[in-house]
Chains A and B, each alone.
Chain A
Amino acid sequence: MTIVAESIILPQRRSTSGRLSDFFWRHPHVLLAIFLAPPLLWLGIVYLGSLFALLLQSFFSIDDFSGLINYEFTLATYRQLLSESNLDIIIRTVSMAALVTLVSALIAFPIAYYAARYARGKWKALFYLAVMLPLWSSYLVKIYAWKLILAKEGILTWFFAKLNLLWLIDAWLSLPVVGGNSLSVSYTGTFIVFVYVWMPFMILPIQAALERVPANLIEASSDLGGTPAQTFRHVLFPLALPGIVAGSIFTFSLTLGDYIIPQIVGSSRLFIGQAVYAQQGTAGNIPLAAAFTVVPIVIMGAYLWMAKRMGAFDAL
Chain B
Amino acid sequence: MRSEKANSAPLGLKIAAAAGLAFMHLPILLIFLYAFTTEEKSYQFPPPGLTTQWFAVAWNRPDVWAALTLSVKVASIATAVALVLGTLCAAAVSQTRFFGRETISLLVILPIALPGIITGIALRSAFSMAEIPFSFWTIVLGHATFCIVVVYNNAVARFRRISGSLIEASMDLGADGFQTFRYVILPNIGTALLAGGMLAFALSFDEVIVTTFTAGQQSTLPIWMLEELIRPRQRPVTNVVAMVVVMATFLPILGAYYLTRDGDQIAGAGK
Cβ-defined contact, B122 with A50, below 8 A: yes
We find that the number of chain B residues with CB closer than 8 angstroms to chain A is 86
Contact of B114 among A108, A196, A260, A297 (CB under 8 A): A297
Query: Knowing A136-B202, A139-B208, A140-B222 touch, does A36 contact B104 (C-beta < 8 A)?
Result: yes
Distance in angstroms from B224 CB to nearest chain A CB is: 10
Collect the chain B residues with CB atoms within 8 Å of residue A264's CB: 229-230
Distance in angstroms from A166 CB to nearest chain B CB is: 14
**A158 within 8 Å of B (CB atoms):** yes
- Docked Cα-Cα span, A28 to B190, in Å, equals 24
Cβ-defined contact, B121 with A293, below 8 A: yes
At the interface, is chain B mostly helix, strand, loop or mixed?
helix
Cβ-defined contact, B145 with A290, below 8 A: no
> Can you list 23 contacts pairing A with B, beta carbon distance less than 8 Å?
A24-B177, A28-B96, A35-B92, A38-B88, A43-B107, A46-B141, A110-B13, A114-B9, A130-B25, A138-B206, A139-B208, A141-B245, A141-B246, A145-B242, A151-B43, A153-B43, A211-B269, A249-B113, A258-B115, A273-B117, A280-B124, A280-B125, A304-B113
Counting from the closest, the 8 A-B pairs by CB-CB distance are A257-B115, A50-B126, A21-B177, A110-B16, A21-B176, A145-B27, A114-B17, A35-B92
Residues of A participating in the B interface, judged by any CB pair closer than 8 Å: 10, 13, 17-18, 20-22, 24-25, 28, 32, 35-36, 38-40, 42-44, 46-51, 53-54, 57, 107-108, 110-111, 113-115, 117-118, 125, 128-134, 136-149, 151, 153-155, 157-158, 196, 199-200, 211, 215, 219, 228, 249, 253-254, 256-260, 263-264, 273, 276-277, 280, 286, 289-290, 293, 296-297, 300, 304
Residues of B participating in the A interface, judged by any CB pair closer than 8 Å: 2, 6-10, 13-14, 16-17, 20-21, 23-25, 27-28, 30-31, 34, 42-46, 81, 84-86, 88-89, 91-92, 96, 98, 104, 107-108, 110-111, 113-119, 121-126, 129, 141, 144-145, 148, 171, 174, 176-178, 199, 202, 206, 208-209, 222, 225-226, 229-230, 238, 242, 245-246, 249-250, 253-254, 257, 261, 269-271
